[in-house]
Amino acid sequence: MSNIGSYEKRRENFSWDIAKEVLNWKEGEILNIGAMCSDRICAQGKGAKKALIWQGFGGKQKTYTFNDLKVLSNGYAKFLEDLGVNPGEKVCLFMDKIPALYISFLGVLKMGAVAQPLFSAFGDESLEVRLLSADTKVIFTTRKHVKKVRKIQDRLPALEKIVVVEGDPSKLKEGEIFFDVEAAPKVEEFSVYASGPDTPSVLHYTSGTTGQPKGAQHAHGSVWGQALTTSWVLDLRDDDIYWCTADPGWVTGTSYGIIGPWSLGVTQCVLDSGFTSAAWYQFIQNNKVSVWYSAPTAIRSLMRDGEELVKQYDLSSLRHLASVGEPLNAEAVIWSEKVYGLPFLDTFWQTETGSMMITNFPGMTIKPGSMGKPFPGIVAGILDLKTNEPVTEPGTVGLIAFRPGWPSMFREYVKQPDIYRSKFYGAADDAMPAELRVDESLWYISGDRASFDKDGYYWFVGRDDDVINTGGHLVGPFEIESALVEHEAIAEAAAIGKPDEVNMEVVKVFITLNPGFEPSDDLELNIMNFIRKRLSPLAMPQEIEYSEKLPKTRSGKILRRYLKAIEWGQEAGDLSTLEDD
Amino acid sequence: MADEMKDMILEYVVEEYVDEDDDIEMDFDTPLISSGIVDSFSMVSLKVFLEKKCHVSLPDKEATPEAFDTVNKICELVRRFQA
């Protein structure tokens, strides 16, 4: 029997307070995610239970108990307090998937600051944009990544401290601080910040079609949604060994790679080494992973390496598989059932929603390729593309939307209330985030398109904007285009998503060259690496098309929509605003 | 000829993926993908480099993390498709 039991009955009798029952939560306890994932589990008598089984490059391994999480996160919390960091200030975590990332995340939250994890493969420009926007005060990083911080620190007036958490302290530059929590005196007790449901907790940046990435601010109350979805969708139980393959630089890696499992006191594994199918299977076998939460891109890569490889490993410990980040194609679901004896269950949610919204549930009839059904307590709808009114006819494609009010919903876009307001259909012009996020008469517009069928299953169609979903990560075309035109050879640029068998989409760019430059193999490679280093490998164009001229509106705006339609073999739509030749 | 190719690939990897002050001793058998020196997304630029410089077309199906994990393995792959 799964944790959720009957989906239909759960929908009928739903209240978010069930999360408190699942967590055995008592009124009067401090609602602080950092403490809920460590101190609280120890107080339940599970201090000696394994919390984190970590494996890094070269097979290096470390194991931490919940008591270790408590003491070491106390160490980070005290260190930050001693540094003069105040509750509400932003502390960036910029490192690979090493234990310090997971444990410092808890420490930051315990002392009331906001944790801002950033993907460690970001280049210096991507890092700068996000630190500048957030007014980040402290950054925790490693010797490997501190070099990127050094390049931009002079342009970050709010950044007061650069803290290197591992490596050789003698290699630090003047003004940088070395802090290895495992070598520091143990902090057995720490007075946890008394946060509440609306106290800011985690800040994740997400890309849009226009402008630079936006900071989606979450709050400690998100734990109700994250814990309950972890219990009902991922079906985690006390004796599970759980593996979430996501990086905490992205929302899946914090909501379900830290908060969900640890708030429930479940052991989880982390593999911090490059992807190979064999290494992943070996990791599952060695650690007897029972619940595995991964991404379609990884699943399709595993498919490519075939069934014979699967047979070389003992994967019998697996009992439940789920997927997130991009639509999971039917073939992948069918294949996983064939080779692992279990289907991957697709889950749909976003950085902004903070927790799962539409998913396939354990025990439910799976329609391969479908997103599943709304989580109990979530009111979902498909809004007409022209009128924004809810559609009633199955099969009609429209915008996926949700009635506000679920606990994990983001609280604001940092410094951008107008953009936050624009996400709510029906919002008054002067409505503020605190009103919008609880107004159940509105619709929160996700930015994705789908339809539902006669049985109430949702079917993903695509993005409603130009944001590129590559390998489950959203990349903003504006960010890429802005970086491209900084290259000496490039005059104009347009970035779009191009279909890709494994990654769903990859970045393709169209460029015009400045006088004196000619297309060449060397230039193409130079441009690719330029973007890879400045932004990230995800943003690197995998195809570059040279053009004499880019299509534009009469007002001079480049028509990405037109280029994308051509690339995808679709109708280009209304081109009446296209610039005359 | 084979050694020239190895040298060229190693030089490219060091120049593009390894920082000057990284304490990494690179040779033809140093793991690239499984060690994290080259991430799986960045493999694409490495593949483009190989195709352009070695005048070869590498099918996506063959350009796996395993096949790209060391300079020696990359050379084997390239030679297979040059033949």
pLDDT tens profile B36-53: 788 877 888 899 899 988
Tokens at A446, concatenated: 């996700």
Is A57 in Cβ contact with B35 (below 8 Å)?
Answer: yes
Q: At residue A356, does pLDDT exceed 50? A: yes
> pLDDT at residue A423 above 70?
yes
Residue type (1 letter), A155: R
A312 and chain B: CB distance < 8 Å anywhere?
no
Residue B2 banded pLDDT, cuts 50, 70, 90: low
Region of poorest pLDDT, from A198-207, A492-501, B2-11? B2-11
Contact B65 A528 (CB under 8 A): no
How do strand A291-294 and strand A320-323 relate by DSSP bridges? parallel
Say whether A276 and B36 touch across the interface (CB within 8 A): no
Pairwise CB contact (< 8 Å): A57 & B22: no
Residues A531, A533, A536, A542: is their CA dihedral positive or negative? Answer: positive
A151 touches chain B (CB under 8 A): no
Q: Point out the least confidently predicted range of A19-28, A270-279, A309-318, A335-344.
A: A270-279
Tell me the domain boundaries of chain A: 7-447, 468-568
- Cα distances from B48 to residues A43, A503, A509, B60, B77, in angstroms, run 55, 17, 15, 11, 14
Give the three-state DSSP class for A460: strand
Interface test with B, best of A529, A533, A536 (most B CBs within 10 A): A529
User: Helix or strand or coil: residue A205?
Assistant: strand
Residue A574: per-residue pLDDT: 60
A97, A142, A276, A300, best to mutate vs chain B, most B CBs in 10 Å: A276
Q: In the prediction, which pLDDT does A334 show? A: 94
* Interface contact A524-B52, CB threshold 8 A: yes
* Alpha carbon A227 to its chain's center: 16
Question: For position A335, what pLDDT does the model report?
Answer: 96
CB count in 10 Å sphere of residue A105: 29
For B34-68, letters b (16+ CB in 10 Å) and e give bebbbbbbbbbbbbbbbbebbeeebeeeebbbbbb
Give the pLDDT confidence of A515-526 residue by residue, as tens digits: 999 999 899 999
pLDDT at A52: 98
pLDDT of res. A156: 97
Take residue A352 and report the two structure tokens written for it: 């902004």
Q: Average pLDDT, whole number, for chain A?
A: 94
Asked if A230 and A279 touch (Cβ cutoff 8 Å), the reply is no
Rounded-to-integer distance, Cα B32 and Cα B24, Å: 11
CB atoms within 10 A of CB A186: 11
Closest CA to A540 of A555, A553, A525, A529: A529
Token pair belonging to A346: 């697709």
User: How far is Cα of residue A167 from the mean position of the Cα atoms in its chain?
Assistant: 27
CATH architecture, range A7-447: 3-Layer(aba) Sandwich (3.40)
Q: Nearest Cα to B44, choosing from A469, A309, A527?
A: A527
Residue in chain B closest to A303 (alpha carbons) equals B61
Cβ-count burial A419-441 (b if 16+ within 10 Å, e if not): ebbebbeebeeebebeebbebee
**C-alpha neighbours within 13 Å on the C-beta side of residue A96:** 19
Chain B residues with beta carbon closer than 8 angstroms to that of A97: none
Distances (CA, A) of A283 to A113, A123, A260, A314: 34, 29, 21, 10
Nearest Cα residue to A530 out of A473, A484, A578, A463: A484
Both tokens assigned to A491 = 């005059």
Phi/psi at A482 (nearest 5 deg)?
Answer: -60, -40
Quote the pLDDT of residue A102: 98
Window B:54-73, CB contacts with A under 8 Å: 60-61, 64-66, 69
Percent of chain A residues topping a pLDDT of 70? 98
Tokens of A231: 């219990």
**Chain A interface includes B25 (CB < 8 A):** no
Q: Is B33 on the interface with A (CB under 8 A)?
A: yes
Q: Which letter, b or e, does each residue of A250-289 get, where b requires 16 or more Cβ atoms within 10 Å of its Cβ?
A: bbbbbbbbbbbbbbbbbbbbbbbbbbbbebbbbbbbebeb
CA atoms within 13 A on the CB side of A542: 22
Q: Which CATH superfamily is domain A468-568 in?
A: ANL, C-terminal domain (3.30.300.30)
CA atoms within 13 A on the CB side of A316: 2
Taking CB atoms and an 8 Å limit, are B36 and A275 in contact across chains?
A: no
What lies within 8 Å, CB to CB, of B56 at 6+ separation is B50, B78, B81, B82
Mean pLDDT of A317-332: 93
Distance, in Å, from the CA atom of A459 to the CA atom of A382, rounded to the nearest integer, reads: 11
- Residue with the bigger pLDDT between A239 and A211: it is A239
Q: Which residue of B has its CA nearest to A530?
A: B16
The predicted model gives A41-45 an average pLDDT of: 97
pLDDT of residue A210: 74
On whether any CB of chain B is under 8 Å from the CB of A463, the answer is no
User: Which amino acid is residue A477, in one-letter code?
Assistant: P
Residue A36, judged by CB atoms within 10 A of its CB (0-12, 13-18, 19+), counts as buried
Q: Do B39 and A58 touch (CB under 8 A)?
A: no
Task: Give the DSSP H/E element, type plus range, for residue A162.
Answer: strand A161-164
Q: A442: which 2 tokens?
A: 């509105």
Q: Which has more pLDDT, A488 or A57?
A: A488
Q: What percent of chain A has pLDDT over 90?
A: 83
Q: B41, B44, B48, B62: which to substitute to probe chain A, counting the most A Cβ within 10 Å?
A: B41
Task: Kindly report which listed range (A412-426, A523-537, B42-56) carries the lowest average pLDDT score.
Answer: B42-56
Per the DSSP assignment, residues forming a β-bridge with A91 are A115, A138
The C-alpha atoms of residue A34 and residue A39 are separated, in whole angstroms, by 8
Burial class (CB in 10 A: 0-12, 13-18, 19+), A312: exposed
How many residues does this entry show for chain B? 83
pLDDT at A581: 46
Q: Residue A286 corresponds to which tokens in the numbers above?
A: 């060695």
* Parallel/antiparallel/unpaired status of strands A504-513 and A543-546: parallel
Structural domains in chain B? 2-13+28-82 (1.10.1200.10)
pLDDT grade for A557, boundaries at 50, 70 and 90 = confident
What's the pLDDT band for B71 if we cut at 50, 70, 90?
A: very high
Could you tell me if A433 and A420 are in contact, meaning their C-beta atoms sit under 8 angstroms apart?
yes
Instruction: Select from A274, A521, A525 the Cβ nearest to the Cβ of B36.
Output: A274
Indicate whether A501 pLDDT > 90: no
